[in-house]
A and B are shown apart, each in its own frame.
Chain A
């Protein structure tokens, strides 16, 4: 069975999203490091069954602690079976999340970006040009609020559109956006 992996920095809402998408019950808290091992469940996307995996949070693909090691190892092992990586980014700290996104792109994962906590970002007067980000990265980008479920339907509909791209293409597209 093909896998969908939930990846992202610690405390960005991966586990909330996992609960929402799969209906499985996992422990969710408001502090980094709640999830230290992966959790698997099933979900259906457009009639096909997938295995969805909630990974511990990580800042990069070069692990710094044991929880990050679990995430990186799982990503590595699951690579041939990965249908999509849902890369969850805290919309109030986009830069930190994008670092991991670029690493995922460099390694050829099919990525869908979820700009989560978009409500918190709006409260903080942070505006993100989703269309432009999508154009630059060359992967689908969806604004979500995992705790309420907003945007998740759209996110699921984009899972099938996740495809690998490469970093040189990202750079080229970035230069185009400059003009």
Chain B
């Protein structure tokens, strides 16, 4: 038996051509409304205003939806009814947190806290952050994202972003993992597989891990410092591009052009939107909530054993001088390793207890955002890129942490916040 014949690329295309000539008949095609819309949304003159409108609408919906459930329902319930009831009913409360029983400290937290951000116990802060703040944010984010995904807007966004992203050596399609990353960094790092070269994949994974906050974190930022969340996001995007441009110069490798495949607009199917939303919310409940709870337990144990106080003392000069925030921020950074949303929640607790000024809160939120990807993202980068890439990522991260944290300190000082 002789080996099966294989064609060359040209021969194969020729054969495809011959076949299609015989079987495919193309009639006169009339342009429809969909085609007009499609055209308008990729042509820069009309596409960019449209893009701004879409993103702004996204942001407004996110705020309104999450705000309704968090401020309207969760906050009154947790702070006015649930927290006082639990503080009263749970055995082991002392006059202060230090004098309470260890179990009380871990599960309820501060017996004098007046809101769930401050209390910092598993049954108080962890539940409130996970279900009262982050869950509505996740639902709001993924509802809109899913609709954008299903109608086919994302590849059009990629076409528009192509020019800008090319300046930092990335393909326009990199905007898709970036948008996914605003939901959760983990699937976004996974999604970097569609990028062609190792250089692009490494750059993208690193930039996502370092600069892009997830919906959980944005949700809680919006709750704590609504007037500054937009500015912090813009600052982080600026960091994304600045670091991207630098990496593009430093890392050898190709950044080839690839064509973006733009599918036609399709109307999203309600069943698919709901199913996907359900999958993602379930994923959040399964993977995030345990980490939020575990994180609160670990951090409370570290407080109890004095590890965090020790860390604060050791790192105090760095935090006070370079970042201009009190050393108490260290606790939040330890928390950030498990879950960033909870870490930001912890900062909120510190701010409402008067330990952090607004300016310090902004700087420390930026620090938490840049500092270390959460554990899940960390593992994902390791799985996708290997140990070497992970170490290189961490190098970029440490640099960004100092540079952009210090810069933010300078900005809030100059702005006098």
Within 8 A of A (CB), among B240-282: 261, 263-264, 266, 268-269, 272, 275-276, 279
Contact with B along A27-70 (1 / 0, CB 8 A): 11111111011000000000000000000100000001111001
In the complex, the number of residue pairs spanning A and B with C-beta atoms less than 8 Å apart equals: 131
Contact A30–B25 (Cβ < 8 Å) = no
Residue B45 at the chain A interface, CB threshold 8 Å: no
A95 partner, pick from B20, B22, B195, beta carbons under 8 A: B20
Taking a contact as CB atoms under 8 Å apart, the answer to whether A129 and B25 are in contact is: yes
How many whole Å from A172's CB to the nearest CB in chain B?
Answer: 12
User: Which of B13, B26, B154, B269 lies in contact with A126, CB distance below 8 A?
Assistant: B26
- A156 contacts the other chain (Cβ, under 8 Å)? no
CA–CA, A29 and B180, complex, Å:
12
B5 engages A31 (CB within 8 Å): no
Q: Does B52 contact A (CB under 8 A)?
A: no
Q: Please state if A133 and B19 are interface contacts (CB–CB under 8 Å).
A: yes
B24 — which chain A residues lie within 8 A by C-beta? 94-95, 126-129
Q: Pick the contact of B155: A31, A66, A129, A167 (CB < 8 A).
A: A31
Per-residue B-contact encoding for A78-120, CB less than 8 Å = 1, 0 else: 0000000000000010110011001100111000000000001
Which stretch of B145-153, B212-220, B333-341, B354-362 is in the interface?
A: B145-153
A10–chain B nearest beta-carbon distance, Å: 7
CA distance A140 to B107 in the complex (A): 63
State which of A32, A128, A168 has its C-beta within 8 Å of the C-beta of B263: A32
A75 to chain B, nearest CB (A): 15
Minimum Cβ distance to chain B for residue A103 (Å): 7
Q: Which of B193, B195, B279 contacts A27 (CB 8 A)?
A: B279
Picked from B23, B190, B201, the residue with its CB within 8 Å of the CB of A133 is B23
What A residues does B276 contact at CB under 8 A? 27-29
Contact B27 A125 (CB under 8 A): yes
Residue of B nearest to A134 (CB): B23
Q: Determine if A98 and B20 form an interchain contact, defined as CB atoms under 8 angstroms apart.
A: yes
Bound Cα distance from A23 to B272, whole angstroms? 13
Give chain B interface residues in 287-339, CB to chain A under 8 Å: none
Closest beta carbon of chain B to A82's beta carbon, Å:
16
Q: Collect the chain B residues with CB atoms within 8 Å of residue A147's CB.
A: 269
Q: Which of B150, B201, B266, B272 contacts A66 (CB 8 A)?
A: B201
Q: Which of B1-60 contact A (CB under 8 A)?
A: 4-7, 12-13, 15-20, 22-29, 32
B194 beta carbon closer than 8 Å to chain A: yes
- Chain B nearest Cβ from A96, distance in angstroms: 8
User: Which 4 A/B pairs are nearest by Cβ-Cβ distance?
Assistant: A125-B27, A33-B194, A29-B149, A66-B193
Residues of A within 8 A of B (CB): 10-11, 25, 27-34, 36-37, 56, 64-67, 70, 92, 94-95, 98-99, 102-103, 106-108, 120, 123-130, 132-133, 136-137, 147, 166-168, 170-171, 174, 177-178
Q: A28-B276, A94-B24, A174-B18 given; name 6 further pairs at CB < 8 Å.
A: A11-B263, A65-B196, A98-B20, A126-B26, A128-B23, A168-B5
- Interface set of B (CB-CB < 8 Å, partner A): 4-7, 12-13, 15-20, 22-29, 32, 146, 149-152, 154-155, 173, 176, 190-191, 193-196, 201, 261, 263-264, 266, 268-269, 272, 275-276, 279
